[in-house]
Structure 1
């Protein structure tokens, strides 16, 4: 009886460990899914970082001089200087 008990226990432990590897919390499919989520989040973070840098650049330009204010007023509000003629070219 003792000769059969040890191999059965070892096989049972092997089956349990194998089940954890494929079905448990840290299983191969679970890790793969988490890696995909991580990659998507990294891409979203990179895009948000790019937008933040662009906004910081605009803020810096607005603080440093009036050229950016004038450009924004012309582009977004259609403002023109006195004695200036606005010409719009359609493409």
Structure 2
């Protein structure tokens, strides 16, 4: 199993605005009060099935002819956009 991938509040809000229920159904959304920060923390953890079970990999990764593609590239999570695979 890989590293945890998180959705920021702006990721979640963007997917709601875009009507991306195909993505949102794989997000475990959370909101809690952090006593150390003194504020409410919101976001989501990715990728889960419809029953709340953690998936082994992103459901939007597709392999074709030996190449890997992101099927939600235009709206992928901030954490994925910032990841630099060459480092």
RCO higher in 1 or 2 (8 Å CA, sep ≥ 6)? 2
TM-score normalised to structure 2 length = 0.22
- By percentage of residues, which structure has more strand? 2
- By percentage of residues, which structure has more helix? 1
